[in-house]
Structure 1
Amino acid sequence: MSQVKGLCVMDVDGTLILEEVIDLLGREVGREEEISQITSRAMRGELNFESSLRKRVYLLEGLPVSVFDKVFKSIHLTPNAQKFISILQKNGILVGLVSGGFTPIVERLAKSLGIAYFSANQLKVKEGLLTGKLVGAIISPEIKQATLEKWRKELKVPKERTLSIGDGANDLLMLKSAGLGIAFCAKEVLKKEIPHHVDKRDFFEVLSLIDCLERGKI
């Protein structure tokens, strides 16, 4: 790997992609409305993220793991996300994904975008079916923040050359830990705490914001 000049850590659902994957999974099990309502409340900071995630995952019990093939085909990258990531990578800024979503989707997204660093939740599977439970540590707001710090230290990137982008309450700590945190088409709870916003769903708007804030940093 050539020298890393900076680090950009991005949320996935509602940021890198337009959809919330867990809501799409809910559609496959006939519980989309119920799950979507919980997701919305959690992203607004009205519910504890970990407990609300466990509740939503429980409702997915019995889905075949093959459902991820179908869901992956139905998600859409946010406009200009791929070009944005390519521009950062060409300028020595490593991109990582930290998601409260699920590894089967995030891993495929990362590979398709040439991203080596990613972290997401693991779903428990038995005999090819989702059990409605999670495996290992949940990617909580605290874990998102810790992951950014871990990668930053591994890559020997100073804090002022880190960028973080997210849209929900569970991204707040991560955005606050970065040299530049950007609330991307974000919930009000995030916009109240994070001074830099992008309110148009287009990653070229993020590039513009970075350029405007350029002072010898990212």
Structure 2
Amino acid sequence: MSESFQNLPALITQGFTPPLRLADFRIAAFDMDSTLINIECIDEIAAAAGKKAEVAAITEAAMRGEITDFKDSLRRRLALLKGVPRSALEQVLTERLQFNPGARELCAALKGAGLKLLLVSGGFTFFTRFVAAELGMDYVRSNELAFDATGALTGGLVMQPWGEICDGEEKRRMLLACCAEIGADASTQAIAVGDGANDLPMMGAAALSVAYCAKPKVREQAMVAINSGGLDSLLTVLR
């Protein structure tokens, strides 16, 4: 969360009058990196290869919407990670990854109110499995890193039944698919929370879009922008 928020109000709402009824919602979709957790996992993996600055610059441009082809940006970053050992990823998971303030509290409150939780990430299953288990996610969609026989990254991804890369359109499609499965209408019963440009498609499909410490393009389009404090401050909008 490198974006400066010093001159912004802690919480901004636009396009509606809070509070909204929590009971009216059925599902909440969350991005992972820099939203539920404090890091961009791919940038931290890159640190092990001595290429953090190069990879982080591409990540930042993609999240700001300056690189519009997320799939291409991800492939470019992955190519730079070829040869990084699995142990480096394990170190990121155990030593660098932390939940953002209020993430546990918000997810617990939403689950307690009967909402289904969806984790949709342009990041990797190596990390989403842990995050999903910790927060009680009901659905998960993310990318599967490919390893060679020695346990090092190949610089590519594993093809999954739904496809290879979870980009913005796949996040939106997954939200709509989960809504269909539970008999919900995304446009009236879904919440979507993210920070980057690749979150905008799912946020646009949801009844309530929430930007958390987000890039300017995302803050401008979200119905709620949380610029400081915890994710659980969203609960001041939902009663």
- Normalising by structure 1, we get a TM-score of 0.91
Q: Would the alpha carbon gap of residues 51 and 153 (structure 1) be closer, same or farther in structure 2, given more than 3 Å must change?
A: same
Q: Is 1:33 paired with 2:53? A: yes
**Aligned 1:82-161 pairs, distance under 5 A:** 82-127=104-149, 128-136=151-159, 137-159=164-186, 160-161=188-189
**Hey, what does 2:29 align to over in structure 1?**
9
Q: Which 4+ stretches in 1 moved above 6 angstroms?
A: none
Q: Is 1:53 paired with 2:74? A: yes
**Hey, what does 1:178 align to over in structure 2?**
206
Query: Given residue 189 of structure 2, which amino acid in structure 1 is its aligned partner?
Result: R
1:88-142 superposed Cα distances (whole Å, 9 cap, x missing partner): 1111011110000000100111112222311111111111111001222201110
**Hey, what does 1:66 align to over in structure 2?**
87
1:160-198 superposed Cα distances (whole Å, 9 cap, x missing partner): 111000000000010010111111111111122223211
Are the equivalent residues in 2 in contact too, given 1:185–1:201 (CA < 8 A)?
Answer: no
Are the equivalent residues in 1 in contact too, given 2:146–2:157 (CA < 8 A)?
Answer: yes
Are the equivalent residues in 2 in contact too, given 1:184–1:201 (CA < 8 A)?
Answer: no
Query: Given residue 114 of structure 1, which amino acid in structure 2 is its aligned partner?
Result: G
1:33-88 superposed Cα distances (whole Å, 9 cap, x missing partner): 11111100000001121111100011110011232221111211010111111111
Segments of 5+ residues of structure 1 without an aligned counterpart are: 212-218
Are the equivalent residues in 2 in contact too, given 1:78–1:201 (CA < 8 A)?
Answer: no
Query: Given residue 89 of structure 1, which amino acid in structure 2 is its aligned partner?
Result: K
1:1-43 superposed Cα distances (whole Å, 9 cap, x missing partner): xxxx610000000100011000100111110111111100000
**Hey, what does 1:214 align to over in structure 2?**
none
Q: For 1:119, what is the secondary structure of its paired residue?
A: strand
Q: For 1:14, what is the secondary structure of its paired residue?
A: coil
Q: For 2:47, what is the secondary structure of its paired residue?
A: helix
Q: For 2:78, what is the secondary structure of its paired residue?
A: helix
Q: Is 1:18 paired with 2:38? A: yes
Query: Percent identity over the alignment?
Result: 34
| Stretch moving more, 60-69 or 27-36 | 60-69
Segments of 5+ residues of structure 2 without an aligned counterpart are: 1-24
Q: What is the Cα-based RMSD across aligned positions, in Å?
A: 1.4
Partner Cα distance (2:185, 2:202) in 1: 15
